[in-house]
Amino acid sequence: MSLSVATRKLLLMTALIVAVVAAVTLAGPGATADRKVRRAVAPVKDINGKLVATVTFTVQESGMIHVSVWGEKLPPGFHGFHIHAVGVCDRATKFMSAGGHLASSGQTHGGHDGDLPVLLVNGNGTARERVNTDRFGLKQLLDVDGSAVVIHELPDNYANIPDRYGTPDTTTLATGDSGGRIGCGVVDRG
C-alpha cells in the first residue's frame, strides 16, 4: 500500500501534534510541583508513637512561611518548640536523632533559623499556634538530610539569661534548657 503525499503529510502533522501535547502534559503540573513546593507538613508523634500534633508550613505571597500547629494529648504548659536539623525521629534515641536546632553558621539559640515561639498547651492538652516566620524556607526544611519539628518537655529561655545570673553555659546557648524531647515529626512535602 502506498500513501499519497498528502496523507503522509497529514500523518506527520498528527504525530507532531501528539508529541507536542505529550510534552506539554508531562512538563505541566508535575514539573511545576517539583519546581514550586508550596507546602510541607510534619505529623508529630510522642515517644509511644502516638500522634500529638500536626504542623503545616505554607509559603505566603510575601515569601514568609506560615506555621500552623494543631496539637492534642500534650502535657499542659509551655514547651520549647523548634525545627531541628535532621529529618529523623528515632524513638530509640529519644529523638536525639533529629540533631540540633536548624541553624546557619554563627547562630546561637534564640537566633537559630529553626527557633519558634514556645508552644502553649492548654489544660485539656490541646495546642493551637500560628506564626509567620522569615527565618527559613521550605527548601531548607526539605534539604538532603531533611528536618524535624521537636516539642520539648520544658519551656524555652531562648538563652536569655540576665547578667546577674552569670554567664550562660554552652548548653543554654545551644538549646535554651527546654529539656527532653517529647514529640518529633519529620517534615515532608504536604
Residues engaged in binding Cu ion (CB under 5 A): 82, 150
Segment near Zn ion (CB under 5 A); pick from 6-14, 23-31, 67-75, 113-121: 113-121
Q: Which of 45, 79, 101, 135 binds Zn ion (CB under 5 A)?
A: 101
| CB of residue 154 to Zn ion, shortest distance in Å | 14
65 or 102: whose CB is closer to Cu ion?
102
Instruction: Decide if residue 152 touches Zn ion (CB under 5 A).
Output: no
Rounded distance, CA 170 to CA 123, Å?
A: 33
Rounded distance, CA 77 to CA 120, Å?
A: 6
The three grid cell numbers given for residue 152, joined into one nine-digit string: 520539648
Rounded distance, CA 116 to CA 126, Å?
A: 18
SS (H, E, C) 41-98: EEEEEECCCCEEEEEEEEECCCCCEEEEEEECCCCCEEECEEEECCCCCCHHHCCHHH
Segment near Zn ion (CB under 5 A); pick from 50-58, 66-74, 100-108, 121-129: 100-108
Q: Which of 45, 79, 84, 109 binds Zn ion (CB under 5 A)?
A: 109
74 or 102: whose CB is closer to Zn ion?
102
Q: Which residues bind Zn ion (CB under 5 A)?
A: 101, 109, 112, 115
